[in-house]
Amino acid sequence: METVQNIKQRFEIIGNDPKLNRAIEKAIQVAPTDISVLVVGESGVGKESIPRIIHSLSHRKHGKYIAVNCGAIPEGTIDSELFGHEKGAFTGANNAREGYFEVADGGTIFLDEVGELPLTTQVRLLRVLENGEFIKVGSSQVQKTNVRIVAATNVNMFDAIEKGKFREDLYYRLSTVDIPLPPLRDRKDDIHLLFRKFAADFAHKYKMPPIRLSDDAVQFLQKYRWSGNIRQLRNVAEQISVLETNRDISLATLQSYLPTEGSTLPSVVGGKKSDSDFATERDILYKVLFDMKSDLNDLKKLTLELMKNGAKVQDINPSLIQKVYGAKENESEISFEETPRVNVIPTQTQAHQEEFEEDDDQNYLDAETVEEEEVLKLEQKEIELIKKSLERHKGKRKAAADELGISERTLYRKIKQFDL
């Protein structure tokens, strides 16, 4: 029987962490059987090594070994990739195709990121695990396959099951044996060993002397969190090997290649608004809406007086002018823009209706006095007033603007708008 040390040398696994050794021991023990194995661990911890160990030590070692990244295959094509399809099964299926389960018959399939499988595909996979049967896409013929399945995931499967993203029965079929792999931050004594191995590999690859870390850099390396695990460590070793001309790496140099932990993470603000907060905001919104409706009704009354009299608005109803537009230092700043008609009808509790009922009865009555035909002809009346004023003042915009009670700039905009 193979020993852990022999397996490490054969598959170039670096480290002496007890959890890592235990994972390799379990792989050696389950390899001669055909039971399903689920490898669990964070992204970048080297989960792909365990299925290769299991396959190489099993009686299927002369059969095919196929690794499938379930998260990298689009949902619409993954069934075809795994189980194959018949000609004409879907658009673009010009020929029949064998799936991985058919090709790997008698061998091993490694399903990486199995937690990303769609629910429909999970049903098909469960059937393969239970009785070795599958059906190609677009076919009705049941086919048999004799495949060993080793799966891996970096997600919390129990959370996925609780959220309805993964079938519980499939999880228990896949995880006959669980093999957890520890994250790199839990293998502190192995971190420097791995870094030296990567540095030596890149020195050979790029034909340059290997880099060496100072003592304080080694200590920092071991204390760093390594959220990307072995993949991140390898990436840093390659960057430093290629970019640094000085092969003795100081702490400052090493830190320049590593992001500050937590520096780029957004703050999460928790908490919910209380009912009283929502009630206050609702009351404020109601007041704003009703005040807006009242202002619109006043504006309609003012516009009607303008259309009926054709004189300067300031002379018609100064008190109404001030109510609608407020106090102005310069009366010429007042402009008459077309304002959309808005009816705000409260639909909340009787308490809110009674609060504004007394103030709004008269406003609703005033709004009803505005005939629909007059509203529709408002723009035409405005054009006629502007034309008459310009004719009286022989095209002088300033005099016409003063007569209309608007600024010269507003009058110019109206002339352009109506192509006068």
Categorize the per-residue pLDDT at 339 as very low, low, confident or very high, splitting at 50, 70 and 90. very low
Provide the pLDDT for residue 97: 93
Q: 165-182: per-residue pLDDT in tens?
A: 999 999 999 999 999 999
Question: How far apart are the two ends of the chain, measured CA to CA in Å?
Answer: 99
As a whole number, mean pLDDT of residues 271-290 equals 58
Pick 341 or 208 by higher pLDDT. 208
Domain 4-182 sits in which CATH superfamily? Answer: P-loop containing nucleotide triphosphate hydrolases (3.40.50.300)
Strand pairing report for 142-144 and 133-135: antiparallel
Provide the pLDDT for residue 379: 72
pLDDT above 90 coverage of the chain, percent: 59
**DSSP sequence for 213-270:** E-HHHHHHHHHS--TTHHHHHHHHHHHHHHH-SSSEE-HHHHHHTSPPTTTTPPP---
- Helix, strand or coil for residue 193? helix
CATH of 189-256, one of 1.10.287.3240, 1.10.8.60, 1.10.3470.10, 3.20.20.70: 1.10.8.60
Overall pTM surpassing 0.85 (yes/no)? no
Q: How far, in Å, CA of 125 to CA of 49, rounded? A: 23
Q: What is the largest CA-CA distance in the chain?
A: 111
Q: Range with the lowest mean pLDDT among 267-276, 368-377, 383-392?
A: 267-276
Q: 239-277: per-residue pLDDT in tens?
A: 999 999 999 999 999 999 998 765 444 434 344 444 555
Tokens matching residue 253: 């140099």
| Distance (Å) of CA 229 to CA 5, 15, 112 | 22, 14, 17
Categorize the per-residue pLDDT at 321 as very low, low, confident or very high, splitting at 50, 70 and 90. low
Q: How far, in Å, CA of 94 to CA of 345, rounded? A: 61
As a whole number, mean pLDDT of residues 381-386 equals 80
Domain range list for the chain: 4-182, 189-256, 291-418
Return the HEC string of 8-58. Answer: HHHHCCCCCCHHHHHHHHHHHHHCCCCCCEEEECCCCCCCCHHHHHHHHCC
Same topology between domain 4-182 and domain 189-256: no
Q: How far, in Å, CA of 96 to CA of 284, rounded? A: 66
Contact between residue 203 and residue 209 where contact means Cβ atoms under 8 Å apart: yes
Please list the residues that pair with 149 across neighbouring strands: 109
As a whole number, mean pLDDT of residues 89-104 equals 92
